[in-house]
Amino acid sequence: MQLINHLKWRYATKKFDPSKDVSELDIEKLKKAIQLSPSSYGLQLYKVLVIKNKVLKEELLPASWNQNQVVDASHLFVFCQYSSVTSKDIDNIINLTAITQNTNFKKLEPYGDFIKSKINEKTDIEKNSWLKAQTYIALTNLLGACAELKIDSCPLEGFDTESYNKILNLSNKGLKATVIAAVGYRHNHDHTIERKKVRKPIDVLFETI
């Protein structure tokens, strides 16, 4: 199973080589992997910003707790959840489903109403937590795809969300930054390269019932 070998290879890269860029072809492959990520009800209520601009990355550095991966990596993926869910968001995916599967919208409308009712049952806090969780599913696909392509990555939660929202003008777009990932190629002097991966043993992590 090659996936296991890919996951053994990857690690949270601490030092990227700023002279090495990920090709646009590979960036498109990473986008496709994210696009194919599962999400609750298939809604994909998030947007992903792919930042290559060095000036913008430098501006984001202080808001990223001065973690150099943000500027040294080839690209920075910023996963942004929707600030809220509207009926139109649900109707849009139902309409897309109808078009993609060559089905009448009216036949799918009851399912859309069901989704709306289940979401409306959630409190605002629950909705926010649910929306945020969707971005982490997509992040996992990005990390796995990077590993297969032998592209290094580092997911980061250590950043100031409000500063990101302001710098990237996310609030005006109905978005909120939730998690980021630096993507590029490891530097030869990254001291963490040789560290053994630490994970709980299988018999501790799992329980078969």
For residue range 180-194, what is the model confidence (pLDDT) as tens digits?
999 999 999 999 998
Strand partners, 179: 79
28-35 long-range contacts, CB within 8 A, separation 24+: 29/145, 29/149, 30/77, 30/142, 30/145, 30/146, 30/149, 30/151, 30/183, 33/141, 33/142, 33/144, 33/145, 34/138, 34/141, 34/142, 34/145
Total-model pTM: 0.96
Query: H-type helices in the chain, by residue range?
Result: 2-9, 24-35, 54-60, 69-72, 87-100, 105-120, 124-148, 161-167, 202-205
Output the pLDDT for position 67. Answer: 98
pLDDT in tens, 168-177: 999 999 999 9
Residue 203: how many other CB atoms lie within 10 Å: 8
Per-residue b or e along 137-158, where b marks 16 or more CB atoms closer than 10 Å to that residue's CB: bbbebbbbbbbbbebbbbbbee
- The residue behind tokens 């409190």 is 123
Q: Which residues contact 177 (CB under 8 A, 6 or more apart)?
A: 78, 79, 80, 159, 161, 164, 165, 168, 170
**What is the H or E stretch that residue 80 is in?**
strand 75-82
Residues of the chain with pLDDT under 70: none
Provide the residue count of the chain: 209
- Token reading at 94: 């139902």
What kind of fold does domain 2-205 have according to CATH? NADH Oxidase (3.40.109)
Nearest-angstrom CA–CA distance, 80 and 40: 16
pLDDT recorded at residue 1: 85
CA-CA-CA-CA torsion sign (146, 147, 152, 158): positive
In angstroms, the CA 180 to CA 68 distance is 13
Q: Where are the domains of the chain?
A: 2-205
